[in-house]
């Protein structure tokens, strides 16, 4: 057993040197400074006191650095997962202490699910969420997240909701109660963050916004004019504690835990692979990433952290700042620890409007206009699926939107496999090659020969479509038809239902006194044919290596002897 596969830090730590430390130190400090306001903001978004965002920015970072395969991925609180926590846990309880307890339990559950998925190599399951569905869900969730911060940006009391129309309606209903200083602080902070991002200052925009907000509230005394501030932030490192393992709570949290497990892994693996493609000196292993994220969440749960994952913006900053290894994340965690030990009193006058502005700028960048335009041009079906997920998430809510996305993804898979592409082929004049007559002009099509291609695995879900389509082509040929050639070159598999369907088509051809040839059968299907006695029922002389060989045989022309290739099998004769 290679220990480095399961503990990737051992692959780079023994070779660690001063040159690597230089890049990691700058990146670690930059991301750590960025993580302080972000962590507090995302904790508030999740419905928890801001201090828990700092707790979630320590232990998970260190554990991922040890077990993760990406050397630049920055793990910690992210907006999407925070909103899912707020939606899932908020539907169960409104009590503050119970909410925190359930959020920490949720981290443990997410960690266990991800760890087990990695151990049993189940990372492929996330493929059931297609990219258009993810884009639609993410864009809608970003709008919900952004508008959910209006109450902090406007300084008014707006009830918690996952429905954007309710949020906007309540905001307009309270428009006369807007706290002007709060709104000014929030808008200036948004402008400041966007300006810093545009001119690419080396100092993180959220940090400058925090400094501005604290200075404005304290210097102008706006906290006395109704500007809501964070207030006292507990000092010290998080205490070790075992999450409350209540069976009823676990049963209630399972749906949201599964949702967060999938969504957080997809977000993390997407950015990890994107960054890895730029470095090429290591490989991101999806199942090990699941194990690493699982361990990070499990470990974090014992130190009062809510669910975490790899984030887009912080990972990009980490990479651009020169991170070479996971040591950058360890340095970021160390900076958070120092903040918890010595700097929390500085955040007393931090306006909640500043944290809201950090969230809003971050999440509105997730709205994927480019993908919508791309899908509209290239695939209207995928565009409709993205739009349906987007509208469903906005209208029904976050969790319901994910369910819609999964159902749409599965429905698309089912539809595309039950009605795959088929083609009738014609010969290129003067060449032994055959192409789709619906795509190419001036092909030679003989009225006594039907050449049919089926571009999919033939199995129980599409056998009816296969038979109906082929039988319809046979009927269209009429009484002049003498030969049907099945081009199986695009068929990658066949089950027992497929075998029965093929036997029925062969029987139909025999009843019409039409010959039936099969061309280009792949090895695994040839093995199935031998086991099902198709070779005996049809005849070994009806199998060919190429379409032209089949046509020449029908025309009684000499054909090179490729029978051994057309009939080769790994099945032993009985």
Angstrom distance (rounded) from CA 382 to CA 131: 9
422-427 vs 434-436, strand pairing mode? antiparallel
Given this model, what pLDDT does residue 570 score?
67
Question: Helix axis angle, 380-396 relative to 164-173, nearest 10°?
Answer: 50
| pLDDT tens for the 574 residues of the chain, in order | 578 888 999 999 999 998 899 889 988 988 888 888 889 989 988 989 999 999 999 999 999 999 999 999 999 999 889 988 988 898 888 899 999 999 999 999 999 999 999 999 987 777 666 778 878 887 887 788 788 888 889 988 888 777 788 888 888 888 888 899 999 999 999 999 899 888 877 777 888 888 999 999 988 888 888 888 888 888 899 999 999 888 899 999 999 999 899 889 988 887 888 788 778 788 889 999 999 999 999 999 999 999 999 987 788 888 888 899 999 999 999 999 999 999 889 889 989 899 888 878 877 777 778 888 999 999 888 888 889 888 988 888 777 777 787 788 788 888 888 999 999 999 999 999 999 999 999 999 999 999 999 999 999 999 999 999 999 999 999 999 999 999 999 999 999 999 999 999 999 999 999 999 999 999 899 899 988 888 888 888 899 988 999 999 999 988 776 666 666 776 655 4
Structure tokens at 249: 């709570």
Angle, helices 96-119 vs 286-301, to 10°: value is 150
pLDDT at residue 470, as a whole number: 95
Please provide the DSSP assignment of 432-472 as one string: S-EEETTT-SS-B--TTEEEEEE-S-B-TTTHHHHHHHHHH
3-state secondary structure 352-401: HHHHHHHHHHHHHCCCCHHHHHHHHHHCHHHHHHHHHHHHHHHHHCHHHH
Q: Please state the CATH superfamily assignment of the domain spanning residues 422-567 in this structure.
A: STAS domain (3.30.750.24)
| Residue 574, pLDDT score | 46
- How much is the pTM? 0.75
* φ/ψ of residue 425, rounded to 5: -105, 150
What stretch(es) of the chain map to CATH 3.30.750.24?
A: 422-567
């Amino acid at each position: 057993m290679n220990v480095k596969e399961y503990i990737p830090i051992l692959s780079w730590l023994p070779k660690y040197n001063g040159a690597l430390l230089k890049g990691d130190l700058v990146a670690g400090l930059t991301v750590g400074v960025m993580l302080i306001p972000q962590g507090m903001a995302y904790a508030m978004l999740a419905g928890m006191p801001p201090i828990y965002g700092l707790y979630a920015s320590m232990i998970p970072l260190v554990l991922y650095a040890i077990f993760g395969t990406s050397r630049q991925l920055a793990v910690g609180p992210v907006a999407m997962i925070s909103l899912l926590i707020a939606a899932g846990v908020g539907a169960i309880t409104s009590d503050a202490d119970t909410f925190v307890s359930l959020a920490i339990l949720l981290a443990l559950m997410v960690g266990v699910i991800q760890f087990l998925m990695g151990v049993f190599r189940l990372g492929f399951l996330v493929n059931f969420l297609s990219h258009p569905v993810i884009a639609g869900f993410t864009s809608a969730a970003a709008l919900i997240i952004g508008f959910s911060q209006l109450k902090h940006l406007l300084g008014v009391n707006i009830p918690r909701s996952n429905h954007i129309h309710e949020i906007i309606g309540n905001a307009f209903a309270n428009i006369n109660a807007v706290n002007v200083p709060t709104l000014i602080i929030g808008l200036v902070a948004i402008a400041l963050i966007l300006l810093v991002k545009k001119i690419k200052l080396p100092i993180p925009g959220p940090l400058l916004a925090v400094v501005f907000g604290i200075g404005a509230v304290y210097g102008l005394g706006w906290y006395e004019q109704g500007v809501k501030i964070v207030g006292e932030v507990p000092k010290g490192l998080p205490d070790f504690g075992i999450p409350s393992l209540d069976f009823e709570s676990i049963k209630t949290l399972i749906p949201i835990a599964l949702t967060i497990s999938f969504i957080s892994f997809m977000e993390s693996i997407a950015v990890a692979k994107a960054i890895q493609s730029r470095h090429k000196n290591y490989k991101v292993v999806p199942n090990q990433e699941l194990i690493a994220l699982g361990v990070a969440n499990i470990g974090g749960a014992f130190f009062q952290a809510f669910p975490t994952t790899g984030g887009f913006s912080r990972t990009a900053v980490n990479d651009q700042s020169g991170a070479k290894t996971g040591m950058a994340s360890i340095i970021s965690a160390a900076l958070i620890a120092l903040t918890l030990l010595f700097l929390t009193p500085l955040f007393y006058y931090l306006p909640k409007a500043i944290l809201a502005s950090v969230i809003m700028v971050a999440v509105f960048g997730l709205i994927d206009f480019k993908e919508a335009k791309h899908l509209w041009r290239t695939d209207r079906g995928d565009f409709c699926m993205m739009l349906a997920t987007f509208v469903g998430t906005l209208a029904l809510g976050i969790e319901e939107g994910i369910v819609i996305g999964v159902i749409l993804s599965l429905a698309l898979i089912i539809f595309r496999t039950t009605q795959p592409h088929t083609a009738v082929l014609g010969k290129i004049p003067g060449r032994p090659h055959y192409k789709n007559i619906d795509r190419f002009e001036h092909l030679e099509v003989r009225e006594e020969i039907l050449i049919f291609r089926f571009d999919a695995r033939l199995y129980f879900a599409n056998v009816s479509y296969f038979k109906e389509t082929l039988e319809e082509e046979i009927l269209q040929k009429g009484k002049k038809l003498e030969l049907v050639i099945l081009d199986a070159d695009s068929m990658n598999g066949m089950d027992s239902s497929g075998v029965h369907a093929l036997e029925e088509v062969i029987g139909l051809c025999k009843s019409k006194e039409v010959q039936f040839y099969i061309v280009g059968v792949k090895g695994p299907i040839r093995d199935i044919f031998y086991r099902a006695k198709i070779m005996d029922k049809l005849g070994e002389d009806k199998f060919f290596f190429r379409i032209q060989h089949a046509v020449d045989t029908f025309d009684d022309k000499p054909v090179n002897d490729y029978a051994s290739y057309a009939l080769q099998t790994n099945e032993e004769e009985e």
